[in-house]
Structures are given as C-alpha cells and as structure tokens.
Structure 1
Amino acid sequence: MKLVIIDYGAGNIKSIQFAFKRLGVDAILSNNPEVITSAERVIFPGVGEASSAMKMLKKSGLDTLIPTLKQPVLGICLGMQLMCNSSEEGNTKGLGIFNVDVKRFSSAVKVPQMGWNTINELKSNLFRNIEEDAFMYLVHSFYADMCQEAIASTTYELKYASALQKDNFYGVQFHPEKSSVVGEQVLRNFLEL
C-alpha cells in the first residue's frame, strides 16, 4: 500500500512512521503534490501552532491540494484542527473541510490537556473493534466543538469532538501513534477503510 505522510514542517512524523512500520507499511514522507495525489492513503499530521502551520501549507500550495484529495485522508491533532473552518489559535482560517470551529479551553482547566482520556460515542469504521471509553493519548489546548461531523467525543471541561469525518476525510484530536494497542487499531482500521 502506498501511504504518504504530508511533510510540511509541522509534524511528529517519525513516531507516525514507526507506528505504521509496526503494521508492516513503509510510509513515504513527501510534500510533492504528485506523490501525495497518487497515494492510496494520506496522513496529515501536525504539532505546533495553527497560524504558522497554515503559513507553511500555503507556502507549498498544500492548502489548496489537501481539500481536493479523493483517497482516505487522516488528520492527526493539529492536522485535524487545520481541516476545520477556523481556529482561535493565531486567529487562523482553516481548510474548511469540516464545518466546525476550533476554540481554546478556558483558564478554568489545566492547559494543555496532556495525557490519557477516553473516547466515546464512537461512529464510523475508523473505530471498528474499539470499545466505548477506550483510552487515547492527547496533548492539546484547542478543541473542535461537537458538530454533525463528530464521530467520537471526549470530555475535558466540556464535551468536544475528538474525531471528525466527512466523506473521505477523517480527523482525530488524539495521537493514535502514541496510544498503545488501541491507537494501533485505529491506524489499522484507517488502512483498511
């Protein structure tokens, strides 16, 4: 299987690559539109700050390419947030794939949310063979509101969308590559979509 991880300078790419290697798939790192378009599966990672990550996407033209992709695409953490309409982080306009805005947790809770938390209200084949209340590893200060495209929820201060889906686009707020056996199952399910 040809799996491409979009390499635009804002990803925890190595841990994602190692996670797929454990599943027997050698992921290609690339920011080349032809390589990305010809992939069977695409991972859109992201760690860091939304506005600077979006600048890097625009610089390479990937901001216009990603929404046109036809194969299954999985956004992870900031990758998922950049697929939304906008983010309060750096007042950033997103790719608009998911019709939801990304907001900051209030100062009433410890930010970032860092560590293990449960995912609930699981919908979609992305969560095949995964139980309700399964634990995933999260590190984030911003969240996507619950919306029509939510396929999983998590509660931290409030209930938010910890996974989204629209057509061939999927997004997860948690890090499947750091979430042990359950996270590995999410990646396996993504490969089998």
Structure 2
Amino acid sequence: MYTHHTSILLPMMLATTIVLVSAAYALWSQQLRIEGVINIGKIDPRITSSKIVCDKCEASLLIDSDDPLAVHLHVESLKGNENTLWIGLVVSNEGNIPIKITSISTGVASKAYSYGPFRSVGNSGVWGHFVIDMLPFPNYHELPSAVDDPSYKLILWIKLDNVQQKHDYDIKLVAKPFNS
C-alpha cells in the first residue's frame, strides 16, 4: 500500500514542480527596464585671482566674466629687450568633485607650472611677495596638474615668451574630472 501512494504521489509532485519552475522561469526571463537619474556631482573650477609679473612691461589682465577659466591679457608696452612675462592664476575648485587642469592655450610660446592644492593661497609660499627671478618656484607639477579637491585651490604660473607690445592674448585653461 505504501508503494501505491508513492507511485501516484511522485509523478504528481514532479508535474507540479515542472509547472512552478516553468512559471518562475517565464517571469524572470522577461526584460526588466529601470529608468533613473544619477547625479555624480558637478565640475566648477574658476579663476579667482590673477597677477602679472614682469620687470619691464606695462600690461593688464582681466578675468573673463563669461568663461570662468579664461583671462584676457593686454600688453601695452615692453621696455628694452623684454619679451617674456609671467601670469599667475589661482584656480578654485568650487564644484563637488576633484579636478585637474589638463592644458592651457595662450596663442604664444608658453609653459605652465602648477602648485598645490592649497586650502589658502596666502600660506602657499608661491603667491605672495617675490621677485621675478624666483620664478618658477621649485616643487612644481607640469600639466596635467595635481588633483584639486573641492574647496581647494591650485596656483598656476604661466611663462609667456615672445610677447609683443600693443597686443592682446586670450588665455584659456582646460579642466577635467581627476579620473578622466
């Protein structure tokens, strides 16, 4: 009698299992579509301070109000054989992800020296009072710059060679996320 129930019960259990597994497989094999927005942060580097250093020139530097990574340089006059000048820029990372400065366009022969990052440029040792013969300062990074974390600042000193008097130059920095 025990054998009779087993012979009936086993095929029924097997049939039930096949039906349940087939139904479960059909449910899981359908395409699942998920839509959403992932906000990873924003890049917001800005030139927040600038200066010109040269022994024998008259020049002005203006931060571009439309482009936070651009400055406009006007060289009015050069005295003697002077045709080199230095531009100092403080780049503040006002976004919420780390960045690096990857390149600079100047329209003239140039080389960039990057320092930092610093919480404050006043204590950096590369922004305060100095003479032109001190540039470039030691311990610089070539481009790409060191990683600039949010709320920190990089200092860039850019040496421009072969500048001409009565001439304008547009200087543009390129910043990217630190891991790109």
TM-score, structure 2 length as denominator? Answer: 0.26
Could you say which structure has the higher helix fraction? Answer: 1
The structure whose RCO (Cα within 8 Å, separation 6+) is larger is 2
Could you say which structure has the higher strand fraction? Answer: 2
TM-score, structure 1 length as denominator? Answer: 0.25
Q: Which has the larger radius of gyration?
A: 2
